[in-house]
A and B are shown apart, each in its own frame.
Chain A
Amino acid sequence: MRRGLFSFLTLAVSLFWSHLREHRLRNLLTLFGVVLGVAVTLAVRLANTSVERSFVESFEAAAGRSQLEVSRGDLGLEETLLLKVSAVDGVAEVVPRIEENATVAGSRETLLFLGLDLLSANPFRDFPLTGTRDSRDFLSLLVDPHSVLLPRPAADTLGLAPGRRFEVVTDRGAVDLVVRGVIEAGKDRKLLLPRHTVLLDLSAAQWLFRKAGKIDRIGIVLRPEASEAAVRSRIAALGNGSFTVDRPQARTRQIEKMIASFQLNLRILSFLALGVGVFLIYNALSFAVVTRREEIGVLRALGMGRSQILALFLAEGALYGLSGSLLGILLGWGLAGSALKMMARTVGALYVAGVTPRLIADPQGIVLGILLGLGAALAGTLIPALEAARIVPREALSRGSYEERGESRWTLWGAVGLGLLVLAGLCANQKPVGPVPLFGYGAAFLTVAGFAFLSPAAIVLISILVRPLAVRVCAQVGALGVDSFRRALRRNAIAVAALLISVAMLVGLWTMVHSFRLTVEQWIAGTIRADLVVYPAGHFEGRRQGRLDPALPSRIERLPGVEAVDRYREVRISFRGEPVVLASGQFSRLRDYRNLRFRAGDGREIFNRAGRDRGAVVTESFARRFGVREGDKIPLPALSGIRDYTVYGVFYDYSTDQGLILIDRQRFLDDFGDAGLSTIPVFLRPGASTDQVRREIVEILDRPGEAVVQTNREIREKVLEIFDQTFVLTKALELIAVAVAVLGVISALLASVVERTRETGILRAVGCAPSQLRRIVLTRPR
């Protein structure tokens, strides 16, 4: 048995190898299809995994050995809470911290600033410190807000040694920092800090990021005998619902949920490239069956069974899959770097700022890549292999041309196609399952499958319609072209289907992106009405949670060209365990100067009513995600505990897919106690010079460079730039899928040419010119 298998494998490999060299170009095209499919799938997976891993690393490093964490999202906690929490029974240690991002001046490199109490609650105090010469150096870390420590990976990445200075952009503008020491890995302990982390004292972080009296999170180390659940409920009771107490891992899960849809879309598109690769394999192996009919006939005549022929072709497919996968893994690793950059930019712009992931090796992904490549290759091989196994040796060895059977089934396939399209229509009308439009994906898949099944009918009908025209234009030459297209119906139908699917997806995707862009443009026109907008420094370089000087709006209001200013704040909070955005603005300004489009009701009236009561307006995405309607009450984590806000209106918004709650500025200050500002929209008097006011705003800033002023046009351009950037990867993946499908069509045409060698010889013998032959090939209405 084993000897027989070895003999068979020897034969399979020698046949595969000899054929591989025989049709080099075609085989390379096929191999390239598998390589590309596996590479794209792996690149997207690696990029996804690396992004996720970077969050886990950052959060784990920040959390240290804390078992619980107290947090209020971006709203921050009052420093006074520290004493109360540390007094709770079962708490051994509290580790307050500030987590912020700042960009290195003049670059897009984002650093994670970790503000810790370096004297008493420093989880890194046991690690060796190099470069700190004496106690004066250490003291300066505590008193000088410009002093920082760098973990070894960060020092190496940034090329900084103790004593060196570097400039970063924070809420205070461009700030010069000095490295006071480098934290090294311990003898037996790894320094599990991401390479872009900067450590500084809590007070320095509070100053740099305008968080006086505030902390972002409190890590809690429990006493060994304490019950986690009991401590948790005791701490939660202190806040009355105003903050959350969770395990540190919960934060990673929240982020993962946040970016899940984005990642899923990319994953599905990457599978499309692999799916089209299946068609390519199908084409190649179908071609092999056609050209190797005689060989199959000989093998069958010599005593090779049907199952061995099947196994021979499956083995060939598997060899394609295996070699394609291995090369695909190499290419995938190369592509993953670019995919990761694009993904990190989008995730940073749309979800969580400060993502600087590095590519992480993913052995599971590599195994999966090989399995996917093998699976795809075997799936593409199965039908041609079955076809090969069905070949009758007597027929294969007779010297006639090969005619494909099965044309009569086109009506059946057409009926199946129509049935699938009807099912797709039914699925399209179903609601999403949670945030995931499962039925939507189903509808898309069924539509694609439906049209694929319709392609044989399309070929037959088009052939019937085109034939008279082809005869009129090119006489018999034209008719031959049309007929030969129809003869290899199954193989051509699959090539047509592959091209149809990828082109349809491309057109669909581009139409969707284009109409979405138009919608966003309309939304921008309605929403971004301010003549100038003031942003914290670094806002467009990845610092989305920066804070402006709260005193700045009053100073701007006094400028002669200014008619009004708004005070806008955006923070991320947890709502029913999910991350959402809580925003505040002056409702009177929103009412008078912005033109938000509400699902129902008049915007002015909605703002008037919501401003009077404890009211809120929410985005359509929020309403859909949480099943909230106009008139419902939503509980929000105010400083003094949970406060119910009434939803007065639901408006269309494309700034976040997480959902956004908008409340009045005064109510926000009263209930949430956060005076920080994310942006200051400035409305000018008629006739005022935009450039002039812009210059004046820059002049009245506390510190030069602490804020940037953008004109309405510049902001619109920035928003659209972010929008376009979001779809770069999507478009790239789509183009790859189309490229693979085009390879499939080339491959099918080549198969057709080889298949008709005998016919071509006859045509040439009766005087058909090469140009006429070319016309025959090209008139195949593919």
Chain B
Amino acid sequence: MEKRGVGEQPAIALEGVTKTYWNGAEPVHALRGATVRVARGEALALMGPSGCGKTTLLNLMGGLDVPTAGQVWVAGHSLAAMGEKDLTLFRRRHVGIIFQFFHLLPTLTVWENVALPLHLNGQPAMKVEAQVSELLDRVHLGHRARQKAYQLSGGEMQRVALARALANDPQIVLADEPTGNLDSQVGLEVLALLLDLCRQRGKTLVLATHSAEVGARADRIVRLRDGMIENPDAA
């Protein structure tokens, strides 16, 4: 795992990143030479229309995908050259992800969903217990801990997803349309909670969104169109 000093470097740095998918013999260019930097503790919003490459960019930052060309540095690690195993460990230790459709495990309880990353990290039971309780209290769901995930409302589900993303105390939090599946009022409440928690804990947050209102709450906005950065100065 290639590493560089984190003190002087941004938390996330993508340089000239290209991502091409293949639809049979036809190439689909999701990203074309994107360069983005995110400082430690910053909240960055990625904005743009559907299919512009926001999710692809988040996937590359989260180690869920690797670029076709270019470099990806996250939390001091170069992801472009990492193998499958290292990427898995990287995700487990350094990244928390929040999805538009929550992606909770519906058959598990709220408590079990939040505890999942801690179990994967092999944390001792006492630490799991303390961490999960603290996070559920922070997202105001302590009273719902024993409920199944599918029994919750959309806003509650996203709050559980938020707690789960923070469970392993990652440096980076990535949120893909975190309010996209919620009504505007609930969406704004969840967003406020997300920003609060990340800022209080010094997390670097990157969120992809269509919503100008959501984008406006971030520290900075990077706009994408057809796989390219529209405002390279802001990137």
Binding site for B on A (CB under 8 A): 3-4, 7-8, 10-11, 14-15, 18-19, 21-22, 294-295, 297-306, 308, 393-394, 397, 399
Binding site for A on B (CB under 8 A): 59, 62, 64-65, 84-85, 88-89, 91-93, 97, 99, 101, 103-105, 107-108, 112, 116-124, 128, 164, 168
* Cβ contact within 8 Å between A303 and B120: yes
Closest to B95 in A: A303
Residues of B within 8 A of A304 (CB): 88, 92, 120
Partner among A4, A299, A305 whose Cβ is within 8 Å of the Cβ of B85? A305
* Cβ contact within 8 Å between A301 and B62: yes
- Complex alpha-carbon distance, A414 and B166, angstroms: 51
> Taking the nearest CB of chain B, how far is it from the CB of A503, in angstroms?
36
Closest to A307 in B: B85
Residues of A within 8 A of B99 (CB): 397
- Complex alpha-carbon distance, A11 and B118, angstroms: 10
* Cβ contact within 8 Å between B84 and A306: yes
Partner among B91, B112, B118, B123 whose Cβ is within 8 Å of the Cβ of A301? B91
* Cβ contact within 8 Å between B119 and A303: no
* Cβ contact within 8 Å between A11 and B103: no
Closest to B62 in A: A301
Residues of A within 8 A of B59 (CB): 394
Closest to B65 in A: A394
Partner among B101, B108, B124 whose Cβ is within 8 Å of the Cβ of A15? B108
* Cβ contact within 8 Å between B116 and A22: no
Residues of A within 8 A of B65 (CB): 394
- Complex alpha-carbon distance, A655 and B88, angstroms: 69
Can you list 22 residue pairs at the A/B interface with Cβ under 8 Å?
A3-B123, A7-B118, A7-B119, A7-B120, A7-B122, A7-B123, A7-B128, A8-B122, A10-B119, A18-B105, A297-B103, A299-B120, A301-B103, A302-B97, A302-B116, A302-B164, A303-B88, A303-B117, A304-B92, A304-B120, A305-B85, A306-B88
Residues of A within 8 A of B124 (CB): 3
* Cβ contact within 8 Å between B119 and A11: yes
Residues of B within 8 A of A302 (CB): 91-92, 97, 116-117, 120, 164
Residues of B within 8 A of A394 (CB): 59, 64-65
> Taking the nearest CB of chain B, how far is it from the CB of A630, in angstroms?
72
* Cβ contact within 8 Å between A295 and B105: yes
Residues of B within 8 A of A306 (CB): 84-85, 88
Q: Given contacts A302-B92, A303-B92, are A399 and B101 in contact (CB under 8 A)?
A: yes
Partner among B89, B122, B164 whose Cβ is within 8 Å of the Cβ of A4? B122
- Complex alpha-carbon distance, A18 and B108, angstroms: 7
- Complex alpha-carbon distance, A739 and B235, angstroms: 64
Partner among A3, A19, A295, A393 whose Cβ is within 8 Å of the Cβ of B122? A3
Closest to A297 in B: B103
> Taking the nearest CB of chain B, how far is it from the CB of A565, in angstroms?
80
- Complex alpha-carbon distance, A10 and B109, angstroms: 14
- Complex alpha-carbon distance, A82 and B154, angstroms: 96
- Complex alpha-carbon distance, A734 and B116, angstroms: 45
- Complex alpha-carbon distance, A22 and B99, angstroms: 24
Closest to B122 in A: A4
> Taking the nearest CB of chain B, how far is it from the CB of A405, in angstroms?
14
* Cβ contact within 8 Å between B88 and A19: no
> Taking the nearest CB of chain B, how far is it from the CB of A581, in angstroms?
65
* Cβ contact within 8 Å between A19 and B107: yes
* Cβ contact within 8 Å between A298 and B105: yes
- Complex alpha-carbon distance, A468 and B98, angstroms: 47
Of A21, A297, A302, A306, chain B has the most CB atoms within 10 Å of the CB of A302
* Cβ contact within 8 Å between A305 and B107: no
- Complex alpha-carbon distance, A305 and B93, angstroms: 12
* Cβ contact within 8 Å between A303 and B103: no
Closest to A398 in B: B55
Residues of B within 8 A of A397 (CB): 99, 103
Residues of B within 8 A of A19 (CB): 107
- Complex alpha-carbon distance, A616 and B190, angstroms: 98
6 closest pairs, A vs B, by CB?
A303-B92, A4-B122, A18-B107, A7-B119, A305-B88, A303-B91
Of A7, A8, A10, A308, chain B has the most CB atoms within 10 Å of the CB of A7
Partner among A301, A305, A308, A399 whose Cβ is within 8 Å of the Cβ of B97? A301
Residues of A within 8 A of B168 (CB): 303
Residues of A within 8 A of B164 (CB): 302
Partner among B89, B107, B108 whose Cβ is within 8 Å of the Cβ of A303? B89
Closest to A3 in B: B122
* Cβ contact within 8 Å between B64 and A393: yes
Residues of A within 8 A of B104 (CB): 298
Closest to A17 in B: B107
- Complex alpha-carbon distance, A300 and B85, angstroms: 11
* Cβ contact within 8 Å between A15 and B93: no
Closest to A306 in B: B84
- Complex alpha-carbon distance, A506 and B128, angstroms: 55
* Cβ contact within 8 Å between B107 and A301: no
- Complex alpha-carbon distance, A15 and B115, angstroms: 13
- Complex alpha-carbon distance, A294 and B121, angstroms: 21
- Complex alpha-carbon distance, A713 and B142, angstroms: 84
> Taking the nearest CB of chain A, how far is it from the CB of B162, in angstroms?
14
- Complex alpha-carbon distance, A306 and B89, angstroms: 11
> Taking the nearest CB of chain B, how far is it from the CB of A145, in angstroms?
76
- Complex alpha-carbon distance, A584 and B59, angstroms: 88
A-B contact sample (5 more), CB < 8 A, given A303-B168, A397-B103: A22-B107, A301-B103, A303-B120, A306-B88, A399-B101
> Taking the nearest CB of chain A, how far is it from the CB of B182, in angstroms?
17
* Cβ contact within 8 Å between A14 and B117: no
* Cβ contact within 8 Å between A15 and B105: yes
* Cβ contact within 8 Å between A14 and B112: yes
Partner among B84, B89, B103, B118 whose Cβ is within 8 Å of the Cβ of A294? B103
Residues of B within 8 A of A18 (CB): 105, 107-108
> Taking the nearest CB of chain A, how far is it from the CB of B39, in angstroms?
24
> Taking the nearest CB of chain B, how far is it from the CB of A5, in angstroms?
8
Closest to A20 in B: B107
> Taking the nearest CB of chain B, how far is it from the CB of A224, in angstroms?
68
Partner among A21, A298, A305 whose Cβ is within 8 Å of the Cβ of B103? A298
Residues of A within 8 A of B62 (CB): 301
- Complex alpha-carbon distance, A629 and B226, angstroms: 88
Of B64, B92, B93, B101, chain A has the most CB atoms within 10 Å of the CB of B64
Of A15, A301, A303, A308, chain B has the most CB atoms within 10 Å of the CB of A303
Residues of B within 8 A of A294 (CB): 103
Closest to B89 in A: A303
- Complex alpha-carbon distance, A19 and B128, angstroms: 23
Residues of A within 8 A of B122 (CB): 3-4, 7-8
* Cβ contact within 8 Å between B93 and A14: no
- Complex alpha-carbon distance, A298 and B107, angstroms: 13
Residues of A within 8 A of B120 (CB): 7-8, 11, 299, 302-304, 308
Closest to B176 in A: A397
> Taking the nearest CB of chain B, how far is it from the CB of A757, in angstroms?
14
Residues of B within 8 A of A297 (CB): 103
Residues of B within 8 A of A295 (CB): 105
Residues of B within 8 A of A300 (CB): 88
Residues of B within 8 A of A15 (CB): 105, 107-108
Residues of B within 8 A of A3 (CB): 122-124
- Complex alpha-carbon distance, A21 and B88, angstroms: 30
Closest to B59 in A: A394
Closest to B96 in A: A302
Residues of B within 8 A of A4 (CB): 122
Closest to B103 in A: A298
- Complex alpha-carbon distance, A303 and B62, angstroms: 10
- Complex alpha-carbon distance, A761 and B123, angstroms: 42
* Cβ contact within 8 Å between A11 and B107: no
Closest to A19 in B: B107
Of A4, A14, A301, chain B has the most CB atoms within 10 Å of the CB of A301
Closest to A1 in B: B122
Residues of B within 8 A of A301 (CB): 62, 64, 91, 97, 103
- Complex alpha-carbon distance, A10 and B105, angstroms: 15
- Complex alpha-carbon distance, A14 and B105, angstroms: 11
Partner among A8, A14, A308, A393 whose Cβ is within 8 Å of the Cβ of B108? A14
> Taking the nearest CB of chain B, how far is it from the CB of A518, in angstroms?
57
> Taking the nearest CB of chain A, how far is it from the CB of B106, in angstroms?
9
